[in-house]
Amino acid sequence: MDLLNTLVDKGLRRELPTREEALAVLATSDDDLLDVVAAAGKVRRHWFGRRVKLNYLVNLKSGLCPEDCSYCSQRLGSKADILKYTWLKPDEASQAAAAGLAGGAKRVCLVASGRGPTDRDVDRVSETIKAIKEQNEDVEVCACLGLLSDGQAERLREAGADAYNHNLNTSEGTYGDITTTHTYADRVDTVQKAHAAGLSACSGLIAGMGETDEDLVDVVFSLRELDPDSVPVNFLIPFEGTPLAKEWNLTPQRCLRILAMVRFVCPDVEVRIAGGREVHLRTMQPLALHLANSIFLGDYLTSEGQAGKADLEMIADAGFEVEGAGEVTLPEHRAAGGGCGSHAEAGCGSHADAGCGAHAEGGCGSHEGGGVCGTAGVPGAANEPRPDLVAVRRRGAGTDLAPNA
């Protein structure tokens, strides 16, 4: 297929595809899916080999968020039956992080719900970062705390943070349909603050709320322009009790096409499969490793993932290898130029209002819960609801039960 040959050539040269080419990837048929995966896989292997970076989430503060993001189980007015607790103490967070690191994670993502941190919150998280790094000198730490005020990114950097996550989530044109309590420009500003402070910036998207192909291409092109080191791709987890609980718009095939499009547009960036992979990719998860070079290990912020042991077996069975602590994730030209040097190449996921990703309750959606743009004519858009696959997290941080790692 001429399209795929062109995209591979551009990916190896780090050349931006045209919007029409990106849209064409999303419009390919299921009959062409393996060809699409193989082509994007060539770009992934060129820049990242067969390594898979493991990341581990620690939810420092769960629920009770004042923001009204439609997809989020922690949002204002959410009736989702999730864990709710205030800040973990530094030693509690360090213990939670240790479980993920023991399971093979290279990066710990510290997340807290809320609009953004107060200066006292930054102090609290700084203490937690120091506690984690005292026990694990080589660990990478990503902070994911929401919208940043002036000077806060610098303070986190001084405390030892390597990266900061804040996702765009969806296109600028539809962002107002998701939330009324902050703007798309607020999110861009926070990513830029992280960049300016020398933190490795991480910013991604959430798919599956009824957005159009044009919306997906818009947000990925915007991310390319922002130039984060890491782009987490989340797939909506339709939590009961949230406005988007009825949005089941993804098939495994569509998820793979989305990941392939992201890889072609962001060829040399860490692409992470974040929240929702178990719900929407299901048995096709191993194929997604040919497109993304990073995943979360174990559970997410408010939902449970597959067993950490199963993640490791999946990686090995698919012919990939876990990236070691001493290996640099990003290609040399990016690692050398990043604010954190070669140590902090990537970021986290897509919590939306709070930051680091993999909670992935949603993305571009209607504030009233109806979906923004519709999915008529989108190949493979219709999907059977699988609420049985949405499991609320009941273990790990904020509980007395052992975490999944």
Give the integer Cα–Cα distance in Å for 367 and 68.
Answer: 8
Give the span between the Cα atoms of 385 and 248, in whole angstroms. 6
Catalytic residue (choose from 44, 107, 124, 142): 142
- The DSSP secondary structure of 344-371, one letter per residue, reads --------SSS--SS----SS--TTSS-
Q: Which helix (H) or strand (E) holds 164?
A: strand 163-165
Catalytic residue, candidates 65, 255, 348, 364? 65
The upper half-sphere exposure of residue 135, i.e. CA atoms within 13 Å in the direction of its Cβ, equals 19
Q: Catalytic one among 72, 144, 356, 364? A: 72
Q: Which of 272, 277, 334, 393 is catalytic?
A: 272
Catalytic one among 44, 69, 157, 334? 69
CA 338, CA 332: separation in Å to the nearest integer?
A: 10
Q: CA dist 150 to 38, 128, 181, 327, Å?
A: 44, 21, 19, 33
Token output for 260: 């392939």
Q: What's the chain's Rg over C-alpha atoms?
A: 19
Helix, strand, coil percentages for the chain (3-state, nearest 5)? 35, 15, 50
Q: Pick the catalytic residue: 202, 266, 340, 348?
A: 202
Strands (E), 16-135: 51-61, 107-112
Which position among 44, 75, 107, 109 bears the catalytic label?
109
| Residue 152 to residue 193: CA distance in whole angstroms | 9
The strand pairing partners of 202, in sequence order, are: 165, 230
C-beta separation of 310 from 304 below 8 A: no
Check if 393 is active-site: no
The reply to whether 65 belongs to the active site is yes
Active site residue 340: no
Does 202 participate in catalysis according to the annotation?
A: yes
Tell me if 170 sits within 8 A of 206, measured CB to CB. yes
The DSSP element (H or E) to which 207 belongs, if any, is strand 205-207
Task: Name the residue type at position 333.
Answer: H
Residues recognised as catalytic: 65, 69, 72, 109, 142, 202, 272
